[in-house]
Amino acid sequence: MPRQLTLASLSRGARQLADADPDLGGILDRLGEPPMWGRRPGFSALVQIILEQQVSLAAARTMYRRLTSHLGGMTPEAIQAMRVSGLRDFGLTRQKADYCYGLAARILSGSLDLAAVARGPDDVGRQVLLGVPGLGPWSVDIYYLMALRRPDVWPRGDLALALALREVKGLDDLPTKDEQQALAGAWAPWRSVAARLLWAHYLAARGR
């Protein structure tokens, strides 16, 4: 297995999943291979993930673009210069302002080395990121799935994936986090590809 997804391995994984699971195969037949939806690893990706917590992706993207434009780039130095009060004045909630400022402070102090996280063992890196206020299991999963492009990550508790699973699998109710994990277990070692297929279904079903 590759450590990082490429377009070629994404394609290979999608075909293998389609062969193993007719429901995912149906998505692939209808929509083709899913997008990579990759992000550049680092501070800016984590800020974007923090902004996406408990709001729509569209709202988070708008805030991220406005903030980046205002700062002239998304860097720890720029966030630290704004301080929490400036981030609050710009429209971030108290909690998200605290999280973004604290993340910037950790990087600038050297207590968080994102390059080392990317290079090191995933289990060690996950524990490092989970120790950062504002980065819970879902946020860390999304970072490993999209920014570090690991091939076998299932983002726990993702609402869009829960809705897609209910539709694709014909479930009566939204699957719980544990039920999602159990369903996704059958898709190892390509769970990140399965998530992309299901996100593609979710967006297409809603005309996006």
Instruction: Write the CATH number of the domain with boundaries 7-36+153-205.
Output: 1.10.1670.40
Q: pTM for this one?
A: 0.93
Burial zone of 88 (CB within 10 Å; 0-12 exposed, 13-18 middle, 19+ buried):
middle
- What pLDDT score does 208 carry? 77
- What pLDDT score does 207 carry? 86
Mean pLDDT computed over every residue of the chain: 95
- What pLDDT score does 55 carry? 84
The domain limits of the chain are 7-36+153-205, 43-147
Q: Are 43 and 75 in contact (CB under 8 A)?
A: yes
| Polymer length of the chain | 208
Mean pLDDT over 182-195 rounds to 97
Tokens 């990087």 locate to 107
Instruction: Write the CATH number of the domain with boundaries 43-147.
Output: 1.10.340.30
Q: Which two tokens stand for residue 190?
A: 């390509």
Topology agreement, domain 7-36+153-205 and domain 43-147? no
Phi, psi of 186 (to 5 degrees): -70, -15
Q: Is the pLDDT of residue 2 over 90?
A: no
